[in-house]
A and B are shown apart, each in its own frame.
Chain A
Amino acid sequence: MSLPEIPVVSASSKVPAPSGVPAPSPAPAPVPPEAGPVLAAYHLSVWYGTSLALKDVTIEIPRNQITALIGPSGCGKSTLLRCFNRMNDLIPGARTEGVILCDGKEITSPDTDPVALRRRIGMVFQKPNPFPKSIHENVAWGARINGYRGNMDDLVERSLRRAALWDEVKDKLHRSGMDLSGGQQQRLCIARTLAVEPEVILMDEPCSALDPISTARVEDLMDDLKSEYTIVIVTHNMQQARRVSDMTACLMLDEDSRDKNRIGVIAEFSSTDLLFTNPKDPRTEAYITGRIG
């Protein structure tokens, strides 16, 4: 493995400085030893079969912040997201090149067990997909198969409270998770993810199937969760990215490949405020102002 080069994308003032260089922080809070990016990809390219889907992507996901991935359809946002917990492994013919680090450890190497990785990097999907089992079992299952030995009822309650769902379901924990409304189902999926105590939560357009009120609840929840978790969210909704995220990466289709293959690249990655008020890349500007997309 070649050592990752210095990331080419400029980090904004909101990103914690890379480990080794202590951030000049006015706050007296001690900087934890793992203050560097929790997830990072360097020169990452992804192929599906012979077609390139994502080209030379470099990105560092800061800890305990919400990072949004935006961009037009087919530009590889979900592909990038699914590289971080190696869900792309499940697609026949998918192949990655480059380096992905989680807490400084390479996760694309054959030594990394994707099963162990996925417990640490949870995922919430576009369409709410609770298990066709009871609400209690939806939350407890992941913990149980990962060998959780504590009090299961406490864990279920804690996770459901953390996902702002407890008060709505506490009297019907034995009922099927499929009976809940779409927004409740999505929060159940978040609770299920929280129950295995991940460090990172990947969210693949978590609100695109939800109504505005449910969306607002999930967004509030994300803001709540970021004190303990790092969140990466793919979204089509630029207002949502602007509302919830601290950092935003704008992905674009590679200029050279407009004709046939859709190849995604990162056009710009910076703090959300900066990206939306003063985009550096003309493509980002065109996208966020609605001229392309």
Chain B
Amino acid sequence: MSRPASSLYEPHRRIRVLAGPVFGAACFLATLTGVVVLSVLLGSIIATVLHRPGVHPWYDVASNTRDLYEFLKALVTRVRSRDPALAGFRIGIVGSLWLLVLVAVFAIPVGIGAAVFLEEYAPPGRLRRVIQTNIANLAGVPSIVYGILGLALFVRAFGLNRLALGPTLWAGGLTLGLLILPVIVIATQEALRTVPSSLRQAALALGATHWQVIRDHVLPVALPGILTGTILGLSRAIGETAPLLMVGAAGSILRLPRGPGDRYTALPVEIYNYAKEPSAEFSTIAAGGILILVVLLLSMNAVAIFIRNRYSRSVRG
């Protein structure tokens, strides 16, 4: 009755051998989609910037690069103007850097603190699960909602005029801080979870207190992950426009903010305002602003990668 076992197999060898390269090619196409879209976007922005009368042909890379550099340098030093020849982003860049500092001062300690509490101290149970789920949900809330929240909470303080911050850098920084708080909390929690339990046990077995273990072992090992997540969160804050429009980053501010209590505008808001103008010259300026923003974001991410590599190396020895 029993057939030889080998006749029960149908190897489909050709299909199996083909499946691998086909799957690999599909994945390669998926990767390519992202790369191509990004290159086209960046390329079209650069082309817009360079498309001014009397410029060099496209293949003259050296002159074009110099041109691009001169143009961006001019944009960085000039302030908002009705005249395209005099318009720039200086006020917005300074405003964005102010926001960056305020967001970092607020969101980093609060976010890391919340994550350490949730991972290390909070007793497991329903309450912790509810909080955890809500933080994950908050990370997905549209940024305009944070703008509305910031408007009600910080700018107007629910009508309590003495507490209201008005459309100041404080209000903008706190709003963006709230916006990226879930990102920092989640990234920090992930980083804390990667700390091996053998490390904690080793430290506890020497008679260390929970706090000593967190301070000397858990946080240092988790630091690269925490920093990476934090800087990615900060770069998200830098690129946000919608919530800043809600909390009053005005378009036409012509002087630098004198402090965090001052009115301000931010780089993405200025880009938005220039892009709204009908004339083509302003489109060029908006494209230049986008390039400045991209350079800012890329350098922040580069810092994140640098820090991560440096610390991972020192941890592994």
Q: Which residues from chain A sit less than 8 Å from chain B, CB to CB? A: 85, 87, 90, 92, 115-120, 122-123, 125, 127, 129-132, 141-142, 145-146, 175-179, 189, 192-193, 196
Contact between A132 and B315, CB atoms less than 8 A apart: yes
Main secondary structure of the interface of B (DSSP, over half): helix
Q: A203 to B304: give the CA distance in the assembly, Å.
A: 41
With a CB–CB cut-off of 8 A, which chain A residues contact B198?
A: 125, 127, 129
Report the minimum CB–CB distance from B205 to chain A (whole Å).
4
Contact between B207 and A178, CB atoms less than 8 A apart: no
Contact between A132 and B221, CB atoms less than 8 A apart: yes
Closest to B216 in A: A141
- The answer, yes or no, to whether B212 is at the interface (CB within 8 Å) is yes
Report the minimum CB–CB distance from B185 to chain A (whole Å).
22
Main secondary structure of the interface of A (DSSP, over half): helix
Contact between A122 and B317, CB atoms less than 8 A apart: no
Contact between A125 and B221, CB atoms less than 8 A apart: no
With a CB–CB cut-off of 8 A, which chain B residues contact A130?
A: 202
Q: Which residues from chain B sit less than 8 Å from chain A, CB to CB? A: 124, 196, 198-199, 201-209, 212, 216-217, 220-221, 315-317
Given A87-B201, A92-B124, 11 other A-B contacts at CB below 8 A? A90-B201, A125-B198, A129-B199, A131-B199, A132-B220, A145-B206, A145-B216, A177-B317, A192-B202, A193-B205, A196-B206
Contact between A192 and B206, CB atoms less than 8 A apart: yes
Q: A146 to B221: give the CA distance in the assembly, Å.
A: 21
A-B pairs with beta carbons under 8 Å apart, 12 shown: A90-B201, A119-B206, A120-B207, A125-B198, A125-B202, A129-B196, A129-B199, A132-B317, A141-B216, A145-B207, A145-B216, A193-B205
With a CB–CB cut-off of 8 A, which chain B residues contact A192?
A: 202, 206
Contact between A90 and B207, CB atoms less than 8 A apart: no
Contact between B208 and A145, CB atoms less than 8 A apart: yes
Contact between B205 and A145, CB atoms less than 8 A apart: no
- A116 with B207, Cβ < 8 A, contacts A92-B124, A132-B221, A141-B216 known: yes
Q: A250 to B272: give the CA distance in the assembly, Å.
A: 76
Q: A130 to B204: give the CA distance in the assembly, Å.
A: 13
